[in-house]
Amino acid sequence: MIRFFFLILLFINIAENNLSANTIIVGVNQTYTSIQSAYNIAKPGDTILVNEGIYTQTEYLSGTKGNDKNNIYIISKKRHGAIYRGGSEAWHLSSVSFVVIDGFVFEKQTGNGVNIDDSGNLVTPATNIAISHCIFRDINATGNNDLLKLSGLDYFIISECSFLNGSLGGSGSGIDMVGCHNSRITKCTFENMGANSIQMKGGSQYIRIEKNYFKKGGQRAINIGGSTGLAFFRPQNATFEAADINVWSNIFIESDTPIAFVGCIRSKVVNNTIINPVIWIFRILQETVDPNRFAPCGMNEFTNNIIYFPNNIRTIVNIGPNTDPSSFIFSNNLWYNHQNPSFNQYNLPVAETGSIKGKDPLFVNFAQENFNLLKNSPAIGQGKSVIAPIEDYNGNLFEITNRSIGAIEYQKASNNDDLNTSSMLVYPNPSKGLIHIISNFLNNEHLRISIYSIQGIFIKSIPINTTTNPSIDLQMNDGTYMYIIEDSKKNILKRSLLLISK
């Protein structure tokens, strides 16, 4: 069903916005043998379709060719058939906006795999980049080399990509962000990383890391913050390395530490499943120190996580100087030392509320990495009631009240939930305030959309005209909101987050 609705959406986009769009073929014996040459002549809405093959040149793209109504689409004709191999970097995109990239492989670069930046213009970011179904792998370097380097990029989404075999022994990352904002990394896989799987620093803010899989994710699988030279902060007057970062519904296996809070504030690690960390569960550090400018690492939250750990872990938490650990919130986590269930040396910096200690979370099949919960798991229904995440690792909805602890919500055998997210599409998201709805519920039903703040405060409710696939002007200020769509019997048909940015 969801495929049907996305096909409708694709048809609408083509019909409304791409009437004059062209497809430009790139490949051997074609008029255009490089993406760069095709991009230089592309117009808004055009598709650059790259034939199957191994490409060894570096593609340099500069300037914006798309716009807010018509992207430029750069697509591998056969998914994973166009392979960019070797060289210092595969692609370098500077001041490029409104681009969709899908289906490529980038491998064996000696610098960074792909580099996207704002050309060093710290006040004019690159924006609106979507990367999906790509593989970044086998970096041929051991230093500060990243599979994907992002500097000064706002409003991007990276989805369903794989990051494999990062820079071992160095300080490289799977994805390294400097001064990036209002973006999302979702449904990606990270395996065998070096320093980090994902790092966001240099004034990065409003980033969501959700529904990803990390295995041997490096020294710090998620580095929320870091250490950035002052000249590279975006904005230049940022008072934090990272702020308002949300790490939701992820699975972590065997990194040195899955989470490092490093010079970050107001960031939340909620509803994750953490398996066998090697040294620490998490770290609280401050690497950029200036009390007159930078807030100490603090005001962060660690809630509703399952931590399944061995007895030889060094400590639960590593706390460095110049931090504010007493301002952290710890709530409703399930801690289980599977080699010593009576373990009690947690030593958190502040008291935790609602925690569960020493009880096996009872996964369906640990050996096969099936971290769904058995019906008698102590994690079921014991999570703190929070507004987000809304969806678990598998894309199922968390219970509104009495959610489970961990990345995966327990699914009852006889599921009578009224929610059906797969049969209702609300787009675009992020939005400028105008949204469109496609659904098989739109049959003269009396539906209503209600808007709430991220804190759960009701803002407004709007009736939906269901005689056609409706468009609704929400008339909302910029921000992140939760919306709920209900029918006349108060059955919830869809519940999700919406980012509005004009």
Residue type, 347: N
Q: Identify residue 379 by its one-letter amino acid code.
A: A
Report pLDDT digits (tens) over 74-129: 999 999 999 999 999 999 999 999 999 999 999 999 999 999 999 999 889 999 99
What pLDDT was estimated at residue 443?
Answer: 62
* CATH classification of the domain holding 437: 2.60.40
Rounded to 5 degrees, what angle do the CA atoms 159, 162, 165 make? 150
Regarding whether 484 and 338 lie in a shared domain, the answer is no
Last residue of one domain, picked from the residues 371, 406, 436: 371
What band does 442 get if pLDDT is binned at 50, 70 and 90?
Answer: low
Give which of 474, 422, 330, 324 is closest to 3, Cα–Cα: 422
- 23 within domain boundaries: no
DSSP string, 61-126: EES----SS--EEEEESSTTTEEEE-SS-SEEEES--SEEEES-EEE--SS-SEEEE-TT-TTS-E
472 contacts: CB under 8 Å, gap ≥ 6: 434, 435, 436, 437, 449, 462, 464
Q: pLDDT by residue (tens digit) across 117-130?
A: 999 998 899 999 99
**Mean of the pLDDT values across residues 475-485?**
86
Reply yes or no: is the peptide bond before residue 428 cis, omega within 30 of 0. Answer: yes
Q: For residue 266, how many other CB atoms are within 10 A of its CB?
A: 16
pLDDT band at 441 (very low <50, low <70, confident <90, very high): low
Query: Could you tell me if 51 and 83 are in contact, meaning their C-beta atoms sit under 8 angstroms apart?
Result: no
207 and 349 both lie in a single domain: yes
Q: Please measure the distance between the N-terminal and C-terminal CA atoms of the chain and give it in whole angstroms.
A: 31
Under the banding of pLDDT at 50, 70 and 90, the label for residue 495 is: confident
Q: What's residue 214's pLDDT?
A: 99
- Average pLDDT on 483-491 reads 83
Q: What is the mean pLDDT of residues 379-406?
A: 94
Tens-digit pLDDT profile for residues 246-287: 999 999 999 999 999 999 999 999 999 999 999 999 999 999
How does the average pLDDT of the chain come out, rounded? 91
Q: Would you state the pLDDT for residue 444?
A: 61
pLDDT of residue 162: 98
Query: Has residue 401 got a pLDDT over 90?
Result: no
Burial of 365 (0-12, 13-18, 19+ CB in 10 A): exposed
The total number of structural domains that make up the chain: 2
Q: What is the pLDDT of residue 497?
A: 83
Residue 289, domain member (yes or no) = yes
Instruction: Report the CATH number at residue 159.
Output: 2.160.20
Q: What is the pLDDT of residue 413?
A: 57
User: Of the ranges 203-207, 377-381, 478-482, which one carries the lowest mean pLDDT score?
Assistant: 478-482
Q: Please, which residues have CB within 8 angstroms of residue 3's CB and are 6 or more apart in sequence?
A: none
pLDDT confidence tier of residue 171, bands split at 50, 70 and 90: confident
Whether the CB-CB separation of 24 and 46 falls below 8 Å is answered with yes
3-state secondary structure 341-389: CCCCCCCCCCCCECCEECCCCCEEECCCCEEEECCCCCCCCCCCCCCCC
Q: For residues 309 and 447, state if they share a domain.
A: no
Tell me whether residue 379 is in a domain. Answer: no
> Are both 191 and 332 inside the same structural domain?
yes
Looking at the domain assignment, is residue 34 inside a domain?
no
Angle ∠(184,282,199) on CA atoms, nearest 5: 35
CB atoms within 10 A of CB 215: 18
Q: Single out the residue of 26, 252, 226 nearest to residue 146, CA to CA.
A: 226
Whether residue 156 is found in the same domain as residue 261: yes
3-state SS, residue 8: helix
Instruction: Look at residues 315, 394, 308, 392 and name the one whose alpha carbon lies nearest to residue 349.
Output: 315
Residues 103 and 223 occupy one common structural domain: yes
Assigned token pair, 472 = 């609704």
151 and 258, same structural domain?
Answer: yes
Q: Which residues contact 8 (CB under 8 A, 6 or more apart)?
A: 438
Query: Domain check: are 365 and 452 in the same one?
Result: no
What range defines the domain where residue 95 resides? 56-371
pLDDT for 8 beyond 90? no
Residue 199: half-sphere exposure toward Cβ, Cα within 13 Å:
30
> Does a structural domain hold residue 43?
no
Sequence letter at residue 92: H
467 pLDDT tier (thresholds 50, 70, 90): low
**Per-position DSSP letters for 377-434, written without gaps between them:** -TTTT-S---S---B-TTSPBPPSSSPPSSSS----SS------GGGEEEE-SSBSSE
pLDDT in tens, 338-362: 999 999 999 999 999 999 999 999 9
Share of the chain above pLDDT 90, in %: 75
Does 61 fall in a domain? yes
389 pLDDT higher than 90: yes
pLDDT at 189: 98
